[in-house]
Amino acid sequence: MDYFSEGLAKAVQLLLALDPETFSAVWATAAVTALALAASLVLGLPLGFALGHFRFPGRRVARLMVDWLLSLPTVVIGLIVYALFTARGPLGEWGLLFTLPGMAIGLTLLGLPIIISMTATAVESTDVRLTQTVLSLGADRFQLLAATLVEARFAMALAAASAFGRIVSEVGIAMMVGGNIKWQTRTITTAIALETGKGEFATGIALGIVLMLVALVVNLVVGLLRARSAADYRGRV
């Protein structure tokens, strides 16, 4: 156990000393997560609303597709994005392979189905009386959309927190599309994998502590949002 306690002690030192290499990975993780989450929300919220609110031909198939994408292995997503962005790929000339934006696109494909699916479920489970109430007060379609999104706000924040948790802890896409380049595309998860492989437990543990803290905060937020969301639907008169 000595190596573990020594690694833990060194990890705390690295964090307290704001070790540049460690915090470079933290920064890269924050940047790609922010980009991917923002893109997932911008695209996913309206799509999720449409899927949950409107009745259209092919809706069930669309729902099945989203659920299928939810369970797609991340290495497969990484492989697809790699194939698209590689020099010989159809989007190779964009030069996105081994860059933070390229990683963010790959991670968006991971977060998007989560946002769409959970938003659709939130909108579907929004009190059916809400639509008639808002329409009877004179709302147009966009105002109805806004009201529904506001009423389902805690459930959608829950979706965002879930997507965040999945994106920030992802390793397969980050490794394949980002290339794990030091000071550039090395994230917390890819750095942990690399450093552990090299026997550098201290750096791995230091980054693991950061990731666990992030996971703890995300879980606390998710728990709070879940409680608020449940309370909203219990008490409506």
Q: Give 103 or 147: the residue with its C-beta nearer to another protein.
A: 147
Q: Give 56 or 73: the residue with its C-beta nearer to another protein.
A: 56
Q: Which two tokens stand for residue 98?
A: 């081994």
Least distance from another protein to the Cβ atom of residue 125, Å: 14
Residues 113-142 that bind another protein (CB under 8 A): 127-130, 132-141
Least distance from another protein to the Cβ atom of residue 120, Å: 20
Least distance from another protein to the Cβ atom of residue 216, Å: 28
Q: Is 20 exposed, middle or buried (0-12, 13-18, 19+ CB in 10 A)?
A: exposed
Whether residue 176 contacts residue 75, with contact meaning beta carbons closer than 8 Å, is answered with yes
C-alpha torsion angle, residues 90, 94, 95, 98 (rounded to 10): -70
Torsion sign, CA atoms 203, 205, 206, 211:
positive
Does 224 interact with another protein (rule: CB under 8 A)?
no
- By rule CB under 8 A, what string of x and - marks binding of each residue 23-42 to another protein? --------------------
Q: Give 61 or 137: the residue with its C-beta nearer to another protein.
A: 137
- Helices 188-197, 20-53: axis angle to 10 degrees equals 130
Task: Name which position in 81, 145, 147, 171 contacts another protein (CB under 8 A).
Answer: 147
Does 200 interact with another protein (rule: CB under 8 A)?
no
Least distance from another protein to the Cβ atom of residue 154, Å: 9
How far, in Å, are 167, 178, 218 from residue 106 at the CA level?
10, 9, 21
Residues 47-66 that bind another protein (CB under 8 A): none
The answer for residues whose C-beta is within 8 angstroms of residue 104's C-beta and 6 or more apart is 31, 32, 35, 36, 39
Residues that bind another protein (CB under 8 A): 127-130, 132-141, 143, 147, 150-151, 231-232, 235-237
